[in-house]
Amino acid sequence: MSYFESRMRVNFKNFNDIKQKLVCCENLGISNIILEPLDFSQEISTKLIKEIEKQFNLTIFYRHNLKMNHIKEFKKKLKFYNRTNHIISVESSNKEIQIHAARDSRVDILSFSDPVIIKSLTQGITSLVKQNNSFIEFSLAPIMVQNFSMQSKNLRNLYRFIHLVRSLKAEYIISGNFDNVFDYRHPRNLISVCHTLLDIPIDEAKKLFKVNPIKLIKRAKKRMNTEFLREGIKLVKSD
């Protein structure tokens, strides 16, 4: 299986938005994609998944991102995803939520894609994520397209926290996480950015966009005891 874009946010209430972004992916040669609703309240219906599969010859998986800062709301919302084999990520600067998410087997990713939230990542949270065999996520958008006046600061923070996670040997992924189709980049270009600007060894950088997304997908499917195939073979998506 070739490289992944592990986080592409789309409006699941607007098929034209989905179509525009997936057509762009086809044109760029991005064949493996993990789609995420713009708003975590949006459902991903089986009917919509079948329509996407019918129109596009792409390997597509799905994720839900819970971005909130109140622990009671988070716990209530997380129960809604008890019976899904989609990837579940959590994005919050609230320490109580981070600790709960890092320990909860339903959560596959703790995301630190946001340039503000990334500053809340600690060694303790990283260790909990490692113990739970889940993933930490970083994104490149803050150093490539977001707030040009802040890019230097964002780069320093991204570099610092990536190497914190690397030093603790926790699993992590890096996504583009671009909102505008004109900012989309093939993962090969993002691998080059990781190697050149973030000092990630080239083989490790390739793993972040190829091997680790497959591990992430398998982890989500294991929650439902769903059968999956060996690494390198397309997984069978269930309804």
CATH number at residue 82: 3.20.20.140
CA distance 115 to 82: 29
Tell whether the model's pLDDT for residue 102 goes beyond 70.
Answer: yes
Identify whether 237 is part of a domain: no
Confidence band of 67 (pLDDT split at 50, 70, 90): very high
Identify whether 125 is part of a domain: yes
Q: Write out the residue range of the structural domain in which residue 210 sits.
A: 4-222
Q: How many domains does the chain have?
A: 1
Identify whether 124 is part of a domain: yes
Identify whether 20 is part of a domain: yes
Is pLDDT larger for residue 84 or for residue 19?
19
Give the pTM. Answer: 0.90
- Region 60-71 average pLDDT: 95
Tell whether the model's pLDDT for residue 231 goes beyond 90.
Answer: no
Tell whether the model's pLDDT for residue 233 goes beyond 60.
Answer: no
Q: Is 13 helix (H, G, I), strand (E, B) or coil?
A: coil
Identify whether 205 is part of a domain: yes
Q: Is 135 helix (H, G, I), strand (E, B) or coil?
A: strand
Q: Is 186 helix (H, G, I), strand (E, B) or coil?
A: coil
Return the structure tokens found at 222.
Answer: 């294991």
CA distance 142 to 151: 7
Identify whether 229 is part of a domain: no
